[in-house]
Amino acid sequence: MRVPPGDLFAALRTDAAVDAILVTLTTNAISLVLIIGLGTPTAYWVATRSSRLRDVVVTLIELPLVLPPAVAGIGLLAAFGRLGLLGGTLDFVGIDIAFTKIAVVLAVAFVASPFYVRTAVSAFESIDPALPDAARTLGAGPAKVFLRVAFPLAAGGLGAGAALAFARGIGEFGATIMFAGSLQGVTQTLSLAIYEQFDLDFDVALAISAVLVAVSAASLFFVKLFSRWRSSSTSPIPFAPSSQPSG
């Protein structure tokens, strides 16, 4: 079991490891963009409503949290697979999602999105409601209220949520293997590569695991940093949003 660090770095240079790193980075980057792009408006909508519809939306958002990953994979197959609900339509226009990079992106986005949206909702909810009200009376329409008041004040929480979602997405396994398979260089992410290399070359599995430990720790550290930034509207911090000229 004792492997010198030099061998670990060598193991990371194998094709399997390099491919897995590239697949993981690209798919997770795209997922994160999707999660932030769709999750931020959703979270803002949820945080500024109090209707019953809100509870329904929140339930749907949080569902992936409690869903077994295998069920999530089956669900995604049922929705986007060739024989799935939307699969027929997609197949008709020549798009086949299952077992492609798109499938990885969807699986990661599905499983990781609640981590971002939940944090984002509470970040928006923790804004003193008098502040958006004040902005409205000062001539700001809903869009300007979001851009100049809600977003900057929630930015720390949004960052923390994004880091959490990234940490969860990087380690995605169950839904991905069911919906996207484990094709090296196409859909084989780091977690899937560990699983495969576990039988083929244990050193590679170990090296990738070490990378994931480092990435997870770094993500968590960023969550802490961002969370401090969020609660820092009352305390001095080194990277406060810089003052921008306004008027």
241 binds another protein (CB under 8 A): yes
Interface with another protein (CB under 8 A), residue from 72, 153, 175, 208: 153
Residue 128 found at the interface with another protein (CB under 8 A): yes
Q: How far apart are CA 168 and CA 172, in angstroms?
A: 6
Q: Does 50 bind another protein (CB under 8 A)?
A: no
The stretch near another protein (CB under 8 A) out of 32-40, 60-68, 134-142, 158-166 is 134-142
Residue 209 CB neighbour total at 10 angstroms: 17
Is residue 134 close enough to count as binding another protein by CB under 8 A?
yes
* Residue 170 contacts residue 190 (beta carbons within 8 Å): yes
Using rule CB under 8 A, residue 125 touches another protein:
no
Where is 137: in which H helix or E strand? helix 130-137
> From the CB of 226, what's the least distance to another protein, in Å?
15
Are 80 and 87 in contact by the 8 Å Cβ rule? The answer is yes
- Please give the C-alpha separations between residue 58 and each of 61, 119, 159, in angstroms, as whole numbers: 5, 12, 20
Taking CB under 8 A as the criterion, the residue among 7, 15, 55, 133 binding another protein is 133
Do residues 159 and 81 make contact, with C-beta atoms less than 8 angstroms apart?
no
Check binding of 126 to another protein (CB under 8 A). Answer: no
- Residues in contact with another protein by the rule CB under 8 A: 128, 130-131, 133-141, 144, 148-149, 152-153, 233-235, 240-241, 243-244, 246-247
